[in-house]
Structures are given as C-alpha cells and as structure tokens.
Copies of this chain bind each other. A is one copy, B any other.
C-alpha cells in the first residue's frame, strides 16, 4: 500500500476493529457521491491541462462503470482504512498505478470527505422539507374540515376561551412553517463546494473550483480552504433546526394525547394505528402519540453529541469533528423524518367529536371573558372591575357545582355590588347569548383569531405559501439533476473525444 510508505507497517487488528472497520461500514453510503466527485475532479484536471485526455477519460470511465456496478461489487478490505482507498485500489487494478494514481492530484481525502458530507446533507434538507410540507398540508386539510368545530381552548391545561379545532391546527401549522423555514435556510450554508481545498491549504496545481462547483450542482465555492475542511457547521445548523421542528411536534402530540384521553374524549385515533395490551383486553393505546413525542429527545441527543464533538477541536481537519461530529446526523434525520411521518399519519387517522367538543366549551366557563367584555362595552365598567365581578361569580358557581350555563343575573349582581358597589341592568337573553361558545368564536374580530372566516383565510394563505415552497424545492431538485446530467454529458464527450483521437 503506497500510502503507508511513511509508516512501514499495516494497521493492527485492534486498530482495524475499532477504527477502520466501522469507518468502512459507514462509508458505503458515500459510494455514489464519491464516484461523482471523482469524475468531476478528473474532468476538471483534464480541462486545466493537469492530466491528459486519455487519463481523464480512463478514470472517468472506470468510475462511471464502478458506480453503475454498485458498491456491492467491491471487495472491501478494512486494512485499506476506508472506502476511498478501496476505490483507489480498484481503479489501480483496472487502470494501473500510473493512470489511477493521477486521480488524486491536487486533492485530499479532507476536501473529498467534506464534499461528500455536504452532498448528503443537501439531499437530507430537500427530503426533510418535503416531509414537513406534507405534514403541514395534512394539518391544513384537517383544519379546513374543522374550521367550524367549536372546542375549548386551553392555557395551563385549563379551559381558557372557545376556539375551533381548525384554529388550533392552523396555529401549529404556522409554527411548523417557521420550523421548516429554518431547515430550508440551512441550504445556504450547506450547498457550497469545498473541493479544491485539498488537505487544508489548496494546491499549486491550477484547479478550477468553479467547474467542479457546476458539475456537482453546488451554489458556490466554499471559499477559504482551511474553513472548507475544518467546518461542519451546516450539519449543526440542520440538526438544531430539526431539534426545533421535532419539539413543535411533541407539543401537538401532547395536545392530542390529552384530547384523546377518555376523560377529555374529544379525539380518537383509528384502530389501525392503535396498539393493544397483552394483558388488558379493553386497551386501545395511543402508541403513535407517545412515539411522536419520543423522537425529539433523540434529535437533542444527536445535536449535543455533534456540538460537543466539535467543541475545542483544532480548527482544521481532525477526526473528532470530521467523523465524531457527524456520526449521529443520519440518525437525527431519520428520527425527525419519523416524527413527521407519525404526525402525518395521526392527522390522517384521527376522528374529532364536534358535539362533545362544543358541549365542553359550553359548560366549562371558557366564555366568561366574553361576558366581562360585554360588561365593559355595555356598562362602562373598566375591564379589571368586570373581571372581578365575573371572577367572583364563577367562584360561587363552582362551589355550588354549577356550570357556565347556570349563571344568573342575580349571581352577577351580587358580585357587582361587592366590586363596584352597584347592580347593573343585565339583559338575561344577552348574557345567555354571550355565554355560547359558538358566539364567542364568531364574535372574535382579531387578525389571526379563531373566527372561522379568518381561519379559512389563514388556511388559504398557508396553502399559497406551501405552493411557493414547493416551487423552490423543485428548483433545487432540478439544479441537482441538471448537474448530474451535465456530468454525464461531459464524461461522454470526453470518452468520445478520447476514443476518436
């Protein structure tokens, strides 16, 4: 092995078991990107006059053939350290050392690995954004169904004010939209080309970094060569964005978990996504909700692992950052994907019970803020005084075991005398009307509020923004496939030129 000339000995068995073996296993997923980079680099070396047309054609052809054959056709030897050296050994076998040995001119595993990781990461960003859009689309569909489904809103897990189920769903979709945006924006720091940085100081060969940027579909060069091999910040940025996104999902899952409890009884998961008990025959367990909550912790763990494996490393290529800090990236992406799929599955397999929801909101005092507002508007009492009158009334109603619909004018006036020293000429019909949760919802006039028309407007604008996002996503996908096509075409041209020469 030429590369170990400096050392003069093969790696020990324990070194292979602990380092090279696991690295090689992990490396198989790098196969496709690596071979595309090999071809792009060879084509560029030729264009720059660094290697001959025939050498470039030979390398590019052998790489294309190997890529088509697949990684499973390679006999992987952990003694060779990693996938790169195994591919190099394959090329050497096919092309001879003199030809194959020219591929790595002006290059290092350092910039190669940095480039591969960015190619993985950009694919992950696109797939994650798509999953997030699917989830939000499902939530907005469900919201559209339930724009008029009145239910109690909650703060501190206690009924606060009536809302609709559609309003709730539009709210969490809005939060998920910001979460998606953060994932999407990680594209900017990710889709940059480190190739050409070589070990960490560039090279004296006249590389054209713009050309490999085009052939590999990057937006731009990641300029500084030391930065290019030292940094994995985009991985951390994506993981941080996923930590936020999965956190939002745990909150939706928690609300659904509460609302599907028998005691709330407002939602029910379909049998086909529910679990059983091996001992308790009556059990229908909301496993998908518990599972959806269980994903965020894994992402937090991965984030902390990556931060910590980057902290206090030298700002250059080193294995703690280059390998340790990205070790859990794939897991984090999978866990976030599962969280989104679980929540989508739940949104598409949950039944809401509108009558029960509205009936809860009728009895649970969640409309009494509307009553206080009425007192303000009609009787010129300040809000704080009105709050006091109503608060005292509720206390007595609760102690007497009454519900909101049992509130009488006499009860209100008893409190009014305490708080403001006089009775008010309440209109019983008006009080009754204001205590209806549906009225509470439709009376709301605030931008962004629960009024069904406002909710429908927000659903429509949310869907419009989803369309715009999809357009951006598709443009990015096209950029990558166009680059692939360009790479194939340039390889073919070179092969043709080489043959015809």
Contact = CB atoms under 8 A, between A and B. Distances in A.
B100 A382 contact: yes
A63 interface: no
Nearest to A266: B263
B446 A281 contact: no
Contacts of A390: 281-282
B278 A296 contact: no
Interface string A217-256: 0000111111111110100110011011001101111110
With a 10 A CB-CB cut-off, give which of A273, A404, A446 has the most chain B CB atoms.
A446
Interface residues of A, number: 204
With a 10 A CB-CB cut-off, give which of A110, A170, A226 has the most chain B CB atoms.
A226
Q: Is the interface of A mostly helix, strand, loop or mixed?
A: helix
A428 interface: no
Contact of A156 (B287, B342, B391): B287
With a 10 A CB-CB cut-off, give which of A271, A315, A385 has the most chain B CB atoms.
A315
A403 to B, nearest CB: 10
Interface string A262-302: 11110000111111111111111111101101111110111
A382 B171 contact: no
A185 interface: yes
A251 B314 contact: yes
Contact of A448 (B225, B349, B441): B225
A385 B415 CA distance: 61
Contacts of A303: 301
Which are the 9 A-B pairs with shortest beta-carbon distances?
Answer: A101-B382, A202-B446, A294-B324, A202-B449, A101-B384, A301-B305, A5-B391, A301-B301, A2-B388
A318 interface: yes
Given A415-B5, A458-B223, A160 B277 contact: yes
Contacts of A102: 376, 382-384
B251 A247 contact: no
Contacts of A381: 98, 101
Given A3-B388, A168-B315, A293-B311, 19 more contacts: A2-B388, A5-B389, A7-B276, A7-B284, A97-B382, A102-B384, A155-B200, A156-B283, A156-B287, A157-B318, A162-B201, A167-B226, A171-B225, A175-B315, A280-B366, A282-B404, A290-B319, A294-B323, A311-B311
